[in-house]
Amino acid sequence: MKWFLLAVALLASYASAEDLAHKQQAINQLLYKSTEPIRSKFAELKEISKSWKPLDHKHHCTDGGHALERLVKEVEDGNMLEKKHWFSLFNTRQREEAIMLIEVLLSCTDFEYFRNHAAYFREHMNEGEFVYALYVAVTHSETTTGVILPPLYEVTPHMFTNSEAIQRAYTAKMTHTPAKLQMEFTGSKKNPEQRVAYFGEDIGMNSHHVHWHMDFPFWWEGYRIDRKGELFFWAHHQLTARFDAERLSNYLPVVDELYWSRPIEEGFAPHTTYRYGGEFPSRPDNKAFEDVEGIVKVHEMLDTESRIRDAIHHGYVTSKDGKAIYIDNDRGIDILGDIIESSMYSPNIPYYGALHNYAHILLGRQADPKGKFNMPPGVMEHFETATRDPSFFRLHKYMDNIFKEHKDKLPPYKTNDLLYSNIEIKDVSIDGELVTYFEDFEFNLINALDDTEQIDDVPVSTSVHRMNHKPFDYHIIYNAKYDAVATVRIFLCPKHDYNHIELKMDEYRWGCLEMDKFWVDAHSGENHIVRHAHESSVTIPDRIPFEDLIKQADEAVANDSEFPRRDWRACGHPARLLLPKGKSKGMEFVLFVAITSGDDAALSKPTSSEHGSAHGYCGVRGEIYPDKRPMGYPLDRRIPDDRLYHVPNIHLSTVKVYHKKH
């Protein structure tokens, strides 16, 4: 009887662990105060973390327990990074340790084992490795579909706020005085770069960037991710183009690329502290590149770059077994993305190296290249913090220019690549004003502070300025000759350069921002599309605060009700940053709308699905990229003559973006 009751209890616990509310609750509890042991108030999870014997559950691993055995051995041998130490993905051994846990979690047949292994290893691994591994595993595991990842800026606030805010948060805690702290952007007005710090330091943009790298890890060897290399190019090209647009509206020239042979013009003082390991290192202006001892030499970057440029100009890359892979085609950009990043999809890592990844390390270590001062890695070595450093955009402009060298070699589109004779666009207009403004946004710092279970938390939060825009809609009126599915693409492109010289299409096309892409059912006759800005396929709404997620999941579990299933991506540009900043008297942009055939859709029923929201920069989890055309089409090829684009299904108009104080 006793064992029967026990079996029933276990079955009940298994069944409950598998519903979304319980899953969300478990993930919340695993991430709550991640630098301290699991809280006693999470009794079940705490008990599991103490009593769980991982190796007794090998038969619930899809790989027969192989990954599990490996990790358990490393833990038992005391071979793992200690707790209370910084973690960097660019540190080879630390990355390996995090991947070991990711492999264990992804091998779990059911969420119950996912949760139990996670609870056990949370108490036996470095906290940074654990948090990274859990985020990546939740992103990719089928057992966690529907779970919402809490905002990283509230789980690991040190990576998103500055030292001043953290210090003041401690004061609030020590004096037991609730506090709402104002966070300022780094630097002073003497630094022109500070004018665009609101973009590089935006916590939503940084969250998008770090999640992008969790969706598309360079070390990934799991299921095949479609067009991963091309997405690396496109998502980062768009980040750079968006940064350039912000510069133009702040009276700054577009960013110049980085040169290995010249000093790094802009210095950077991050004013940011690691949770463990001290301050992030600073770099003075005009620092000449130095080799990073034992890791990477400057001349290796030049060698790698020249091999890649050779491949571009030959029109083929050479695979590891010496075969030519031709790249002067639509697929080429994907292969180049794999090579330049580089990811495990690169056809020849020994020869083409890892230009991008080593560049991040090289830039991150310039404060202590010989390792004399035992400095922790710089902001460039973390995807959460990298865009704060102006050298990030220089680096990505440099790589972007290499990609463009390849793209600009390809033949320009001809009329039949652009014309869709079924459609004639009659008018495109904006309903509502295009207005940007700054607002304050508050997030919680509770997880940044050490405490004990015996003393209640003091509410501590920080408030940051962030850009937003007024809601607006696109109205597109067009005629169709016959019923068909059609693809609609919307871009916003700077009309003038820094000197206010009007640009030709070929000059502005690489500055175009992808605003939206969607599919419509066109009916013969006149059609009218009303598309809201917040529906954009490149953006996601504000993240749900961690506290609210905890409350929602706990309530759903307590009431035995359903946790709402929301297919929101964690990867995605913040919806409020969809528009680049305007100017008080208005800044002119070209609004480019192209309607092409629905045959461009790669997935079935394109008009009935949003493809998991932010597919433009982030693809669709576990599926192919929904658009068959190259990313950036039809602005991704040279435009020798603007008149080529004078086809009825492409419409260009000029719009103004205003910036208002409030």
Q: How far is the CB of 265 from ligand CUO (least distance, A)?
A: 19
Residue 215 or 600 having the CB closest to ligand CUO: 215
Q: Does 95 bind ligand CUO (CB under 6 A)?
A: no
Mind spelling out the 3-state secondary structure of 110-147? CHHHHHHHHHHHHCCCCHHHHHHHHHHHHHHCHHHCCC
Residue 231 or 587 having the CB closest to ligand CUO: 231
Q: How far is the CB of 646 from ligand CUO (least distance, A)?
A: 37
Residues 396-425 that bind ligand CUO (CB under 6 A): 396
Which member of 354, 379, 386, 460 binds ligand CUO (CB under 6 A)?
A: 386
Which member of 95, 173, 356, 615 binds ligand CUO (CB under 6 A)?
A: 356
DSSP, collapsed to helix, strand or coil, labels residue 504 as coil
Cα distances (angstroms) measured from residue 299 to each of 264, 292, 363: 16, 11, 14
Q: How far is the CB of 236 from ligand CUO (least distance, A)?
A: 5
Residue listed under structure tokens 């070991």: 100
Binding mask 28-67 for ligand CUO (x = CB under 6 A): ----------------------------------------
Residue 380 or 595 having the CB closest to ligand CUO: 380
Which member of 90, 185, 383, 519 binds ligand CUO (CB under 6 A)?
A: 383
Q: Residue 49 belongs to what H/E stretch?
A: helix 43-51
Q: How far is the CB of 383 from ligand CUO (least distance, A)?
A: 6
Contacts of 459 (CB under 8 A, 6+ apart): 178, 179, 444, 446
Residues 198-257 that bind ligand CUO (CB under 6 A): 209, 213, 236
Q: Does 362 bind ligand CUO (CB under 6 A)?
A: no
What gap in Å lies between CA 141 and CA 425, rounded to an integer? 43
Residues 542-561 that bind ligand CUO (CB under 6 A): none
Q: How many Å from the N-terminal Cα to the C-terminal Cα in the chain?
A: 69
Contacts of 51 (CB under 8 A, 6+ apart): none
Residue 231 or 639 having the CB closest to ligand CUO: 231
- CB contact burial 276-309 (16+ within 10 A = b; e otherwise): bbeebbbbeeebebebbeebbbbebbeebbebbe
Contacts of 3 (CB under 8 A, 6+ apart): none
Q: How far is the CB of 220 from ligand CUO (least distance, A)?
A: 14
What gap in Å lies between CA 632 and CA 246, rounded to an integer? 20
Q: What is the DSSP letter of 487?
A: E
Q: How far is the CB of 356 from ligand CUO (least distance, A)?
A: 6
Q: How far is the CB of 513 from ligand CUO (least distance, A)?
A: 17
- Asked whether 484 and 598 are in contact (CB, 8 A), the reply is yes
How many residues interact with ligand CUO (rule CB under 6 A)? 8
Measuring CA to CA, which residue among 35, 39, 20, 67 is closest to residue 131?
Answer: 35
Q: How far is the CB of 616 from ligand CUO (least distance, A)?
A: 16
Q: How many CB atoms lie within 10 A of CB 597?
A: 17
Residue 87 or 478 having the CB closest to ligand CUO: 87
Binding mask 137-176 for ligand CUO (x = CB under 6 A): ----------------------------------------
- Asked whether 85 and 126 are in contact (CB, 8 A), the reply is yes
Contact footprint for ligand CUO (CB under 6 A): 209, 213, 236, 356, 360, 383, 386, 396
